[in-house]
Structure 1
């Protein structure tokens, strides 16, 4: 059970760090407003899905993780 506990602690720390980064970068002008982000407003209903932003963050995270986990 100890390896699972360690994994959960590291995952929790990673989520907190990611949350702080997203909170800090909320004032960056392009994040969340890229071409490809889906934004629909009809009356009092608004749907927003940052598709292009998610893809960009995924690519950056993949690159960073591949650089840090190489032996």
Structure 2
């Protein structure tokens, strides 16, 4: 039980860091995947999509477009 809680917290932390890097850098999704500890950028994209509901690049575009409107 304890291990699953630790994994969940680690996953949430990685997701938060991925979002930060997507919003505040111009680094590629591939570079971000490696930076936050994924060996496979495709797996990172699946991880992100499962939790956020869209691919990292699409999420970035949507967030940045919304920021341009304000």
Please classify the TM superposition score into its range, dividing by the shorter chain length: 0.3 to 0.5
More helix by share: 2
TM-score (norm 2): 0.40
More strand by share: 1
Larger Rg: 1
TM-score (norm 1): 0.40
